[in-house]
Structure 1
């Protein structure tokens, strides 16, 4: 396995650290040989477990996997500090600990399909492919790929927590494709209209008997209501939810509330379900109704 790098500023972090150590005269030939021998052994074991160690192209792929995962873990453990990273590589564990850390990070954020197993167990195959890298790659996007996966994992975790915290039925249907912002808006709208009740699929029916107060039709008021709702989430999830909220969240929620006022008038006039559906469809085509419940009224 060649542990060299054409461009020390762009390639995998492991190669970057090795190039730095050599340039600083702090990585001896013996140190490099120790790192290399461990990496080769790990590649053989990885290929034996997941591929075929007797096929050269698969052994090479295993080496790329080791480099990518170790680079990710090394960057995390050292906080991308080259001196700290070099010290980790020169420790008795060498590349092993960074690889274990990187694998743990990938396992945590992998979004596995329940109906289709991954070749790599707890790690999603595509995510590993995005992280893997040859040692002399001119560019390595492993860190950004991991950050993207982490954000998506946090978003899905936040959706599950929103469901468990604010909905009457807490089971998350895997076939439902929830939008975090839309889901939060539905929670804020329902809690506002129904005095903090758990969200059920009955807002359209209950709206007829709800007094929509004038004070609600204010962006600042809705921003305060939103933050009060988020504050009820378990610690650690507020940041993920806030990050997903766009600047237009409260103004869009206000438009939905204004639509609800028109929908309420149709209810008061005993308009048919077909007429209400047509009104809802027309408004939704003109302007997406953030937070308006999407269930079909029976």
Structure 2
């Protein structure tokens, strides 16, 4: 990465669709310059950030010796992953310290990564590749104690169990806000985000009634996945009673309100996230997370403005 880079170009690829977010980084601030619902070629000097799908990512908790330097920790993690999984092919590895001497590692086979880039028409190697769920989590303040973060994303959702800033477990869940939005569009002719941004009271009320009919099914999926995620943590034996709270991360206020109205003891543990930056109606949380991650590569990020 060039030392003078300050323009961030972030790509969000999902289900054959692409969006491009272009921003400048200066003095710990990110200023969004433009947003395009299509692919825009980057310039050679740009810092390129791209989301990466979970279907080509593998994760593992590794016991590694104490290593301060990140590059050395990643090198040792790669050796350990190659030993455990008997890997001979090229892999890309990321690794962050967790609890009890363990490290949370993510890795992608390079052949899968290159195929993903080629499929989406990106002919340059990105400076940063980062997955949804963790992108949304980047923008949220991490609370002290044991917390569960539920990310309801447009295309990908997940449950992350954390102790402070340390990841204890991560699980992808089979639900997305786009699926819910499509149900609403079948009845109203409009996507959920369009309705919420329009402020049309009639459409909002109609959407609320539709959400009420599926609320128990949606909450059943979320609550089941929360319990599974808590019960299957590798680092420490946990139960729902030992969890301080559950943070629901979603851009849809209608979905949030529907879940919070469910009659369940678990709902009492639910709370709203504290975002580190302002959100914008036109941009998803994961897209904003991409430019935020690019900014972190260049220095500290105090704000994102448009």
Q: Per the shorter chain, which TM-score range?
A: under 0.3
Larger Rg: 1 or 2?
1
Greater share of strand residues, 1 or 2? Answer: 2
The structure showing larger relative contact order (alpha-carbon pairs under 8 Å, at least 6 residues apart) is: 2
Higher helix share: 1
